[in-house]
């Protein structure tokens, strides 16, 4: 009896060849500007203590209240698959005392994240992000650099149909003044019980409500940007000035709050016009107070998360993806076991020299193996048989035009370099 086929869980984004090559290229392009600016890799666990997210992200957020994958481990501890990256980075910075060294702490990271959402195009229960964080200094120039890193990555990919929206969520003084009037305004609205409960925890959450009836009710709500303190206003003005100097186009959106509670000050989002409802391809902001909330020093930080899945969709929609399918420099066709031993040795030596080399496995006939070499897209091919092993030389075939040249096996690396 045939066994039932097992499939991936619903809502999981996964990538197989050849599309996986495009995914890898997009991810690398998103990381490259950060590496060029001195940001270093941080590799984090995919699950954390649940308290990290309930305290760090905010209990009023949909992420914490509705979307986290939380379970009890064998020791009775509450564990959650990471729904975002910043809280984990901050935990690691505190735990490993990185904040006691040179500031700012500049890191990048990438990997899978998990949210129990309703799957649709561009929204997955397992999704991939690239993140960048700069922790320890409150400098508007850092805000501009962080935004520029993302903008540079998008431009390097070739994206054109995106826009940058920015705002300021102010400091403690600004938000306290705004909260008084916002709470008074919300009391005049007819809200359901669940929405009222969210508003009591964090009234700003209602600006992020996706329901049209709530959006309409919030149209006349007081805006935080009108309550910015002198310091916050000057800070935001300086960020905008730096972005202008960098030639980065942006729109100020005073109604933006984003979906996580830890954001303060400069906050931003990149939106792509070709992605429909799931149009956000990345965003972030400053999170003053987060480190202290998680038991660390009272240090400022700013960062972003970029959605690799959605950015790949955006690149495909714009038709800007380059051909990323793997193609080797040399395809080796061994005929017989002694030739296969030689092929493995030759391939290993050439790979150690930086060449991409494939071998025709499976003892196929020469005609079939040559067809495989042609389909592989390899630049060159050689046949290793008894005569080649005896003579120590092969015929190096250039696949694009069939041109042959006799080359010593020991000189294959030189020959490939000469044709590069």
Residue 127 in 3-state DSSP? strand
The answer to whether residues 413 and 370 belong to one domain is yes
- Among the candidates 195, 228, 261, a domain finishes at 228
Does 35 share its domain with 132? yes
209 — phi, psi (to 5°)?
A: -70, 130
Asked which of 274, 293, 318 is the last residue of a domain, the reply is: 318
Per-residue pLDDT tens over the stretch 198-220: 888 888 878 888 788 888 999 99
Q: Identify whether 223 is part of a domain.
A: yes
Residue 239 lies in a domain: no
Residues 248-265 have a mean pLDDT of 87
In a domain, 12, yes or no: no
pTM, rounded to two decimals: 0.90
- CATH number for the domain including 154? 3.30.930.10
How much helix, strand and coil, in percent to the nearest 5, is found in the chain? 40, 20, 35
- CA 285/CA 67 separation, integer angstroms: 21
**Are 158 and 181 part of one and the same domain?**
no
Q: Is residue 237 part of a domain?
A: no
DSSP-H helix ranges across 285-365: 290-293, 308-318, 337-352
Same-domain check for residues 159 and 189: no
Please give the average per-residue pLDDT across 364-389, as a whole number.
93
Q: Are residues 131 and 92 in the same domain?
A: yes
Model pLDDT, residue 227: 94
Q: Using only C-alpha atoms, what is the Rg of the chain?
A: 27
Together in a domain, 25 and 163: yes
Number of domains observed in the structure of the chain: 3
**Maximal C-alpha separation, the chain:** 92
Same domain (yes/no): 144, 200: no
Contacts of 412 (CB under 8 A, 6+ apart): 330, 346, 350, 382, 394, 396
Banded model confidence at residue 364, pLDDT cuts 50, 70, 90: confident
Which long-range CB contacts under 8 A does 149-152 form with residues at least 24 apart?
Answer: 149/33, 149/34, 149/37, 149/39, 149/304, 150/30, 150/33, 150/270, 150/282, 150/284, 150/304, 150/306, 151/248, 151/270, 152/33
Q: Is residue 210 part of a domain?
A: yes
Note whether 313 and 337 are same-domain residues: no
Regarding whether 139 and 38 lie in a shared domain, the answer is yes
For residue 202, the model assigns a pLDDT of 81
Residues 6+ apart with CB under 8 A from 336: 385, 386
Same domain, 298 and 338: no
Measured from the Cβ of residue 306, the count of other Cβ atoms closer than 10 Å reads 26
Residues 48 and 65 in one domain: yes
pLDDT of residue 401: 93
Instruction: Please state, rounded to an integer, the average pLDDT across all residues of the chain.
Output: 93
pLDDT reported for residue 206: 87
Interatomic CA distance for residues 142 and 242, integer angstroms: 10
Q: Which domain holds residue 182?
A: 173-228
Chosen domain end from 297, 318, 339: 318
Q: What is the mean pLDDT of residues 182-199?
A: 88
CATH of the domain at 386: 3.40.50.800
- Separation of alpha carbons 386 and 388, rounded Å: 6
Structural domain contains residue 101: yes
Do residues 296 and 373 both lie within one domain?
A: no
- Is the pLDDT at 229 greater than 80? The verdict is yes
What crossing angle do the helices spanning 19-36 and 140-157 adopt, rounded to 10°? Answer: 150
DSSP three-state, residue 384: strand
Q: What value does the mean pLDDT take over residues 5-34?
A: 94
Q: Among the listed ranges 68-72, 84-88, 319-323, which one has the minimum average pLDDT value?
A: 319-323
Helix (H) or strand (E) holding 196: helix 193-201
More confident residue, 291 or 276: 291
6 is a domain residue:
no
User: 72-131: per-residue pLDDT in tens?
Assistant: 999 999 999 999 999 999 999 999 999 999 999 999 999 999 999 888 888 999 999 999
- Whether residue 80 lies inside any domain: the answer is yes
Query: Is residue 420 scored above 80 in pLDDT?
Result: no
Least confident of 108-117, 156-165, 194-203, 246-255: 194-203
Coil, strand or helix: which one is 287?
A: coil
Residue 324 pLDDT: 66
State mean pLDDT over 329-344. Answer: 96
């Amino acid at each position: 009896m045939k066994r039932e086929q097992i499939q991936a869980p619903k809502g999981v984004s996964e990538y197989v060849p050849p599309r996986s090559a495009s995914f890898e290229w997009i991810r690398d392009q998103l990381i490259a500007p950060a590496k060029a600016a001195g940001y270093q890799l941080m590799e984090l666990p995919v699950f954390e203590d649940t308290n990290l997210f309930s305290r760090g992200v905010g209990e009023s957020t949909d992420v914490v209240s509705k979307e986290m994958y939380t379970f009890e481990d064998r020791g009775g501890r509450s564990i959650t698959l990471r729904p975002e990256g910043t809280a984990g980075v901050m935990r690691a910075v505190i735990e490993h005392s990185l904040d006691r060294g040179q500031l700012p702490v500049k890191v990048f990271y990438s990997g899978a994240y998990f949210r129990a959402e309703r799957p649709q195009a561009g929204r997955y229960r397992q999704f991939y992000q690239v993140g960048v964080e700069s922790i320890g200094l409150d400098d508007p120039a850092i805000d501009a650099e962080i935004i520029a890193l993302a903008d540079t990555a998008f431009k390097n990919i070739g994206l054109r149909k995106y826009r940058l929206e920015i705002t300021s969520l102010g400091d403690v003084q600004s938000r306290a003044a705004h909260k008084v009037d916002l709470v008074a305004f919300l009391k005049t609205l007819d809200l359901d019980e669940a929405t009222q409960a969210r508003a009591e925890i964090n009234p700003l959450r209602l600006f992020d409500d996706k329901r049209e009836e709530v959006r309409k009710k919030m149209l006349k709500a007081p805006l935080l940007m009108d309550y910015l303190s002198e310091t916050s206003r000057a800070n935001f003005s300086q960020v905008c000035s730096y972005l202008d100097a960098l030639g980065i186009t942006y729109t100020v959106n005073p109604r933006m709050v984003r979906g996580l509670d830890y954001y303060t000050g400069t906050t931003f989002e990149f939106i792509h016009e070709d992605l429909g409802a799931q149009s956000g391809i990345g965003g972030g902001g400053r999170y003053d107070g987060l480190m202290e909330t998680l038991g660390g020093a009272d240090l400022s930080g700013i960062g972003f998360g970029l959605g690799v899945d959605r950015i790949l969709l955006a690149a495909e929609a714009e038709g800007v993806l380059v051909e990323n399918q793997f193609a080797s420099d040399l395809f080796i066709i061994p005929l017989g076991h002694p030739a296969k031993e030689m092929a493995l040795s030759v391939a290993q030596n050439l790979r150690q020299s930086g060449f991409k080399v494939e071998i025709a496995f499976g003892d196929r006939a020469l005609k079939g193996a040559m067809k495989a070499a042609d389909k592989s897209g390899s630049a060159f091919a050689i046949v290793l048989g008894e005569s080649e092993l005896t003579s120590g030389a092969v015929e190096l075939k250039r696949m694009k035009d069939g041109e042959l040249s006799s080359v010593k096996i020991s000189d294959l690396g030189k020959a490939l370099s000469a044709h590069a």
